[in-house]
Chain A
Amino acid sequence: MATASSQHPGVRLFKNVAIYGPLTVFAIVTLVPFAYLIASAFKTKDAFFSSPFLPMQRDAEGNAAPWYALHQIDWSGLTLNNFASLFGSSGHFAQGIVNSIFFASASAIVATIGSAMGGYALAKFKWKGRGFATNVVLASLVVPGALLLAPGYQVLYQLGLLDSYAGLILPMAAPAFGVFLFRQSIVQAVPNELLEAGRMDGCGEIRLFTIVVLPLVKPMVGAFVLITFLGSWNNFIGPQIVLQSPEKQPLAVQVSQLSGVYETAYGPIMAGTVLAVAPILILFLMLQRDFIAGLTSGAVKG
């Protein structure tokens, strides 16, 4: 194969444009809404619609300079008041941050333990009903969440779990797709001989699970904690239906209700969205390798 350096400069240039041209265009399309969101969160009400991104100086007729005229930025149009008003108002926004962190962490830990346990039972034991249980796990992957909305609400009502975080976390304590992912990765990563040897040495079953099995599937544990954390952080419909008290609502519900509070004052709404989205983006972009490996591990034959 010819290497890049041995090619004619014209061919190389053409190739680079053909590769990086589309990538750059797509990257810009992807990033513009983020730029718009961040800029909006820091603009005053007056400056909000003056320009899509940074606030711009206006001429005598009140027309703002184009957004790319970087020497005509109107710095006075930037403010932190949008953030201040989120916490200053009578709402529960600060509590919402605490709620989201608690809800996402608790459900991630519970769901990961439950899924790993279930996956282990399906992967490494011969027992009556194993084949049946495996099929049940696979079949429940296609049950649409919407079908469970109405009757699930009824079940939570009967169990007295409405308006509680238990009502959100317990139904997802061992999700089928998690059990399936852990089954796949335990089959691959945990040798039977190691388990036999552990039992020979008198290691108890629960200790065997925690000190032998879990460390061997650490990448899967990490990825699944991230996946479930993200899913709960972004969950809107669950908290919207299950939680009734405003002070219990996580950010996803609180932020979507801001437009009712502030109506056309978009600044605070955007500031709230930034506070809800930024931590998750930073966390996941830092850990993206593990996260993506976990996401694709169930789908691509390893």
Chain B
Amino acid sequence: MSQPLRKKSKLRAGWAPYFFIAPFALTFLVFMVYPLWYSMLLATQQTAGPAVSRPVGLDNFTYLFTNADFWLAMKNTAIFAAGSLMLQLPASLGLALLLNRPDVKARAFWRMIFFAPSLVGMAFVAILAALIFETNNGLMNQFVGALGLGIDPDIRWLEIYILPAIILTSFWMYVGFNMVYFLAALQAIDKSLVEAAMVDGAGAWDRFLHVTIPSIRPIGSFIVLLSLIGSFQLFELPYLLLGNGAGPDQKGLTVVMLLYQRGFEVGDLGLASAIGWILAMLLVGFALAQRFLGKSMTGD
């Protein structure tokens, strides 16, 4: 490439990058920057619907930090996030390791089955879950009865064991989704690394520990981050399963449900924005932690 040629093309392309970035830039300014700025204002106000508002400084935040509902929502959400991770991570990695074996047949077929639940929207899963976890005739209790462990098959999932029911539902939805990421990472492992380890006389367990685990660590931390970000925004499943009341004793109240309740039912968009900002700070914290703990996943 000669110097004058590049100069010429750069000149002709002068307006082009701005034209191509315009859809992103415009929608970003109108639907991201402005709402974020506006929600910062809102977070320091008390509102009753869009018309009435008065400045309250940081009162929304001090109110939340001393509010029992807020901490209940935080606790429920954290339990859900931790429970989901602890169940899903080992299961999805285990399935990916099985499917990654060179002697496994019909890999695409298995992958397709495990992946299918993640294609079903939360709104539809909620309908199915409501019936499956039904106390008297639900599939889950019929299954518990058939196991014959001496447990009475009349477990009131959606009244007492709400979080376990939601954790199990999300397990069904996302194990295959996470597995697909693990499998992609496993298949991208450099074969020569594995062969070199075998030449060095490393056994299967050593190869797993010193080749496989380090190779999939970045994708592992990426999945943990995705899963945490998703879990902390849990809303549609408990909202549709339990309604606005979040179940008996608000056992299914999550952070975003509280936000929706206060913002759209009570009409205090100020308090809702304050909850939103606390959540955003938490997620940014997770993302920063992932950057320090795991390797960057951006590909450059």
Identify the A interface with B (CB < 8 A): 4, 15, 19, 22-23, 26-27, 29-34, 36-37, 40, 49, 52, 113-115, 117-118, 120-122, 125-127, 130, 133, 136-138, 140, 142-152, 154-155, 157, 159, 170-174, 176, 179, 184, 187, 193, 195-196, 199-200, 205-206, 209, 230, 233-237, 241, 252-253, 255-256, 258-259, 266, 269-270, 273, 276-277, 280-281, 284-285, 288-289, 292, 295-296, 298-302
Taking Cβ atoms with an 8 Å cutoff, the residues of B that contact A are: 1, 5-6, 9-10, 12-13, 15-25, 27-28, 30-32, 34-36, 38-39, 42, 50, 91, 94-95, 98-99, 101, 103-104, 108, 110-117, 119-124, 126-128, 130-132, 137, 139, 142, 172, 175-176, 180-181, 184-185, 188, 219, 222, 229, 232-233, 235-236, 240, 255-256, 259-260, 263-264, 269, 272-273, 276-277, 279-280, 283-284, 287, 297-300
Cα–Cα, bound, A298→B259 (Å): 31
Contact B42 A150 (CB under 8 A): yes
CA distance A33 to B19 in the complex (A): 48
- Is A253 within 8 A of B108, CB to CB? no
Closest to B113 in A: A27
B111 near A292: Cβ-Cβ < 8 Å: yes
In the complex, which residues of chain B have a beta carbon less than 8 angstroms from the beta carbon of A33? 117, 128, 132, 139, 172
- Given known contacts A30-B172, A256-B127, A149 and B276 CB-to-CB distance under 8 angstroms: yes
Kindly provide the distance from the CB of A227 to the nearest chain B CB, expressed in whole angstroms: 11
Distance to closest chain B CB from A192 (angstroms): 8
Q: By the criterion CB–CB under 8 Å, are A143 and B111 in contact?
A: no
**In the complex, chain A residues whose CB is within 8 Å of the CB of B124:** 234, 252, 255, 273, 276-277
Q: How far is the CA of A150 from the CA of B1 in the complex (A)?
A: 52
Contacts of A115 in B (CB 8 A): 24
Closest CB of chain A to B112's CB: distance in Å? 5
C-alpha gap A266/B139 in the complex (Å)? 14
Shortest CB-to-CB span from A21 to chain B, Å, is 10
Is the CB–CB distance between B269 and A150 below 8 Å?
A: yes
Residues in A neighbouring B233, C-beta threshold 8 A: 144-146
B21 touches A295 (CB 8 A): no
Q: Contacts A196-B1, A234-B122: A273 and B127 contacting too (C-beta < 8 A)?
A: yes
State the CA gap A284–B91 with chains docked (Å). Answer: 23
- Nearest-neighbour CB distance to chain A for B47, whole angstroms, equals 9
Q: Are A285 and B16 in contact (CB under 8 A)?
A: no
CB-contact partner of A137 in B6, B24, B103, B122, under 8 A: B24
Chain A: minimal CB distance from B18 (Å): 7
- Is the pair A27, B114 in contact by a Cβ cutoff of 8 Å? yes
User: A193 to B6, alpha carbons, bound, how many Å?
Assistant: 11
| Option from A114, A150, A302 in Cβ contact (under 8 Å) with B27 | A114
Nearest CB of A to B193, in Å: 14
If A30-B114, A233-B121 touch, does A150 touch B139 (CB 8 Å cutoff)?
no
- Cβ of B181: which chain A residues have Cβ within 8 Å of it? 295-296, 299-300
Chain B residues contacting A255 (CB-CB under 8 Å) are: 123-124, 127
